[in-house]
Every structure is written in C-alpha cells, then in structure tokens.
Amino acid sequence: MVETMVTVSPDLLYKHVNAFSIIRKAYQILENDLEIIELLKMSNIMAVSRLKYNDHGIIHARVVAGAALELIDILSNAGVEMTYIRDGIAGGIDEVKIAVLISSYLHDIGNSIHRVNHELLGVLISRNIVDRILLRLGFDRRKAIDMRQEILHNIYASDYNVQCLSIECGIVKISDGLDMAEGRARIPYRLGKLDMHSISALSIRKVDIELSQDYKRPINIIIYMNEAAGLFQLEAVLIPKIKSSGLESLLNIYINVDSKSIKYYPKE
C-alpha cells in the first residue's frame, strides 16, 4: 500500500522490509555480510574522510533503498509495467524489489577504491557479492545470472552520463539523487568543506515523495528548502540523474520555500 506521502529517510526502508518476508531476508543478508559492511565503511573513508564528499556509506545505502522500494510501489499502483517482468527476468514484483534493493545497497561501493570511475569499479567488485546473495536467497543459477546482470547494470548506470535501460535502473538512479537533505552534508561540513554543494545540501530540510493524482506523471517529489541555495542541489545532482533515468516523463518536482509550493519540473 502506498501512503499519501512519505519522507525520504533511512526509516523508509524498514516500512518495506517489515512488509515482505523475502525482502526482509534479502535485507538481513546485506546487513550481515562482512564484506559489504567493510566496503561501505571504506567508501565513506575514501569519499567523506579523504575527499570531504557527502555520505556514501551504509546510511546512504539505506536511504536510497527505501526510496527505491517506495517508487516501485508508486509506479506499480499507477499501472507502470516493470521492465524485469516484461522481459521475463523477474517472476513478480517481489523479485523486482529484491534486485532493486541489492542494487541500491551496493551502488556506491566502488568508492571503496576511488571516487573516479566508482560506478565501473562497483560493477567489478560487486559481481561475486551479488552471486552469493542471490544464491543464498534460493534463486537457481540461471535466474541468478540474469538478475545479477540487471543489478550490475543498475550500478553501472548510476553514473550521470550513462542511460538507464530499464524502469528499475531509473528508479535506483533517481532514488540516489533523492538523498539530498541536510543530514547528508553535515559530516563534510564539520570537516571544513565549504562549497556550493555543502551549502546547497544544508539548505534542504527534507524530501517527500507521493503518488500523484496525475497518472501520466505518477511520482511527485516535494523538496523543502530554507533558501534558494538548495536549487543548486537539484540542478547539479537530481536533474542530471532524471534526464538519463528514462523516467523523466513519469514525475513532477515541486519546491517548497517559506511554505510556498512551486512546480519546478517539468518547466511549463
């Protein structure tokens, strides 16, 4: 069931984890896998401690996963057919959610090697991890190979400049861009990073998503900001991801400043 409106946060993931036992099992495998946890830790050491970027660790992974699972429900309720189901990769929406959950959780682990080309690095180091997760979930070898390739596609196409080739990939990519609220920028800001990215992120109070009344554009994204500096985060991070997601015709973006709501995307 899609709620009227939800806030993008780590807690959103638990709504979906608690609703389906197979999603909960996949989540527990991810959270208890030593290699995954260490790679996420190293991603933050490289990205946050050394480069002073925003969070790319386990909290970010949870935020993206929760938002992605919510977007699946919104699109499904609006009658949008998932690519994996259409193409025979997934047997149902539960399998779609498993692939998207794993993709969301692992999409940034390439940062554990370097920020440069981290999407491609993530594909290379995720292959064996994804194999063992899918086999532990009980998928046969043939299905596991197919789903693995979709997951690796999602990780690779999280790059701004790579076009997503499935609805599910676009969901992961946009969800990555939705983790933009102020909490994500606090650590680099405390470490002394003062630039437009950190100032912009600190200007965004929260991000909500909801099922729109317009079923042609079923996703509404509402971004609450303290000041217009937050617009930089939209233009530099979220909009480029939307434009290569393949889902740009399925969503609206509204900004809320001083309790005034303005439609921001698409431009009318």
Q: What is the CA radius of gyration of the chain?
A: 17
Six-digit token pair at 46? 């490289």
Q: Rounded to an integer, what distance in angstroms lies between the CA atom of residue 221 and that of residue 252?
A: 6
Residue with tokens 């594909």: 123
Count Cα neighbours of 134 within 13 Å in the Cβ-side half-sphere. 29
Q: Rounded to an integer, what distance in angstroms lies between the CA atom of residue 125 and that of residue 152?
A: 10
Task: State the pLDDT at residue 93.
Answer: 97
Strand 251-257 and strand 219-225: pairing? Answer: parallel
Task: State the pLDDT at residue 229.
Answer: 75
Asked whether residue 1 is assigned to any structural domain, the reply reads no
Instruction: Report the CATH number at residue 116.
Output: 1.10.1300
Asked whether residue 242 is assigned to any structural domain, the reply reads yes
Asked whether residue 67 is assigned to any structural domain, the reply reads yes
Report residue 193: phi and psi, to 5°.
Answer: -80, 115
Asked whether residue 30 is assigned to any structural domain, the reply reads yes
Asked whether residue 147 is assigned to any structural domain, the reply reads yes
Asked whether residue 267 is assigned to any structural domain, the reply reads no
Task: State the pLDDT at residue 167.
Answer: 98
Task: State the pLDDT at residue 189.
Answer: 45
Q: Mark the ranges of the chain whose per-residue pLDDT is less than 70.
A: 1-3, 182-201
Asked whether residue 210 is assigned to any structural domain, the reply reads yes
**How many domains does the chain divide into?**
1
Give the global pTM. Answer: 0.93
Positive/negative CA dihedral, 27, 31, 36, 41: positive
Task: State the pLDDT at residue 236.
Answer: 86
Range of the domain at 66: 8-262
Task: State the pLDDT at residue 147.
Answer: 98
| C-alpha distances in Å from residue 94, one per residue of 69, 130, 153, 173, 210 | 10, 17, 19, 19, 21
Cβ atoms of 71 and 12 within 8 Å: the answer is: no
Q: Rounded to an integer, what distance in angstroms lies between the CA atom of residue 110 and that of residue 46?
A: 10
